[in-house]
Amino acid sequence: MRTVNRIFVHCSGGNLKSKPKDLIEWQTRAKSKGGKGWSVGGYHIMIDWMGQRHIIYSFEQITNGVKGYNSDAIHVCMIGGMTEADFTEEQWCELENTLLWLHELYPQAEILGHRDISPDKNRNGKIDSNEWIKLCPAFDVESWLESINFYA
């Protein structure tokens, strides 16, 4: 069984009603044809606007969610969302359920947003918004986990 030390939360941005298969197809389509050209998509799990969980890849499969952090990570993506307010209540509920499930499977794994691995350029001990490599997942994962008493 693959060691999992991190669970990353992502958002796909853009259209809330995008289909998981379309997003994976875009990620794996050749760059010359307008895709990212990845050999495998970025997310193990995608949560659609209706709150349905789609398992895209086995947790044993390494995906392309966060460059340099994929070998020991699971990636969960909420479809759509450029801001926290863009996600549906159903998505929030399923994200919580999915992370609880993954936390049971991998209790040692740290849960982070994609943007949380950005470098602390000013060395103040936190990742400030001007340091984010990506805006993903359009909300602060740590604050959200605290607000729902995730670790209580």
How sure is the predictor about 119, in pLDDT bands with cuts at 50, 70 and 90?
low
**65-108 confidence digits (pLDDT tens):** 998 999 999 999 999 988 888 999 999 999 999 999 999 999 99
Residues whose CB is less than 8 angstroms from the CB of residue 72 and which lie 6 or more positions away in sequence, other chains included = 2, 3, 4, 5, 6
Q: For residues 5 and 110, what is the distance between their CA atoms, to the nearest angstrom?
A: 6
How sure is the predictor about 46, in pLDDT bands with cuts at 50, 70 and 90?
very high
- Decide which of 45 and 35 is more confident: 45
Q: Provide the CATH topology of domain 6-147.
A: Lysozyme-like (3.40.80)
Angle (nearest 5°) at CA 53 between 73 and 90: 115
Residue 29 near residue 37 (C-beta atoms within 8 A)? yes
The structural domains of the chain, with segments of one domain joined by +, span: 6-147
Q: According to the model, what pLDDT value does residue 141 have? A: 95
Q: What is the dihedral of CA 59, 60, 62, 65, to 10 degrees?
A: 10
**30-39 confidence digits (pLDDT tens):** 999 998 999 9
Half-sphere exposure of 91 (CA within 13 A, CB side): 23
